[in-house]
């Protein structure tokens, strides 16, 4: 594949823009997987094997990825929308290359796999793989999501039992149950859900006569939010991370 086409596929602009980056000497390529020092390439039409290619654009290291899979530690007071109404968009936390990766249709770049409310923090996945988004978001696949819930009033055994047995939300006659639920401490509830209704955690907690004061998603499937990923930071999902997602285990992670 031509180098300009590789850069285009990774979101560095139109083919003309990518060719300009190369011709200006702003692109360097690692000649092999063992290479430590990249080599400047000035030919936009130079041919490379895209799979496994590592390169630098304006001094920043990148690796070719046919599809992008990333995790973000969503901070509070941010919106999971390209066009936020009140708070900054979570997409402003990402580099432009991830936001501009070409896709079929009008949509560009990675998209959030589901949404978190503006005041909810924690693990958020983003990708440009539509099939992955469907598999992780569809209620038919029952992917467990673990939430750390801080509540206003002391937790009662009755409330935990009700959440496990099922509650009825104010505008939905269908009973909604927690896949798992435990009182970690007097005001800390750990709740696992396998579907994602609007404001579901807050409404379920309200249905058992309590109130959510803070909400944090710590886990999706078998993937936990790493302790060393600070709010607002992102990282690529590794092959091991993707394997954990495929396993979809809901076992509580050691770092929650």
pLDDT in tens, 5-64: 999 999 999 999 999 999 999 999 999 888 999 999 999 999 999 999 999 999 999 999
- Closest of 108, 111, 107, 54 to residue 80, by C-alpha: 111
Q: What is the pLDDT of residues 198-211, one digit of tens each?
A: 899 999 999 999 99
Q: What is the pLDDT of residues 70-83, one digit of tens each?
A: 999 999 999 999 99
pTM here is 0.92
CA distance 66 to 102: 11
pLDDT at 256 over 50: no
- What backbone torsions phi and psi does residue 241 show, to the nearest 5 degrees? -60, -45
Amino acid 250: pLDDT = 53
CA distance 19 to 89: 30
Q: What is the pLDDT of residues 99-121, one digit of tens each?
A: 999 988 777 899 999 999 999 99
Through-space distance between the first and last CA atoms of the chain, rounded to whole angstroms: 43
Q: What is the mean pLDDT of the chain?
A: 93
Q: Domains in the chain and their CATH numbers?
A: 3-63 (3.10.290.10), 69-139+222-247 (3.30.70.580), 144-220 (3.30.70.1560)
**Contacts for 107 with CB less than 8 Å, ≥ 6 apart:** none
Considering the candidates 117, 128, 228, 241, report the single residue annotated as catalytic: 117
200-207 and 157-165 helices cross at what angle (nearest 10)?
Answer: 120
Q: Is 241 a catalytic residue?
A: no
Amino acid 104: pLDDT = 80
């Amino acid at each position: 594949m031509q180098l300009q086409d590789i850069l285009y596929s990774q979101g560095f602009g139109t083919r003309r823009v990518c060719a300009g980056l190369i011709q200006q000497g702003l692109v360097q390529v690692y000649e092999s997987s063992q290479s430590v020092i990249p080599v400047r390439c000035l030919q936009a039409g130079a041919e490379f094997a895209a799979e496994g290619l590592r390169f630098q654009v304006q001094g920043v290291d990148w690796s070719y990825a046919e599809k992008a899979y990333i995790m973000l530690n969503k901070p509070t007071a941010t919106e999971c929308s390209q066009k936020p109404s009140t708070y900054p968009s979570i997409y402003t936390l990402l580099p432009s290359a991830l936001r501009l990766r070409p896709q079929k249709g009008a949509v560009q770049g990675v998209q959030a796999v589901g949404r978190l409310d503006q005041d909810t923090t924690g693990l958020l996945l983003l990708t440009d793989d539509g099939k992955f988004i469907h598999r992780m978001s569809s209620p038919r696949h029952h992917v467990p999501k673990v939430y750390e819930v801080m509540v206003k009033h002391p937790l009662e055994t009755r409330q935990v039992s009700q959440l496990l047995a099922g509650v009825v939300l104010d505008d939905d006659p269908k009973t909604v149950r927690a896949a798992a639920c435990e009182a970690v401490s007097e005001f800390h509830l750990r709740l696992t859900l396998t579907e994602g209704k609007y404001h579901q955690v807050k409404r379920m907690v309200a249905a058992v006569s309590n109130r959510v004061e803070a909400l944090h998603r710590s886990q999706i499937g078998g993937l936990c939010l790493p302790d060393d990923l600070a709010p607002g930071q992102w990282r690529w999902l590794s092959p091991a991370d993707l394997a954990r997602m495929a396993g979809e285990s809901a076992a509580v992670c050691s770092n929650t």
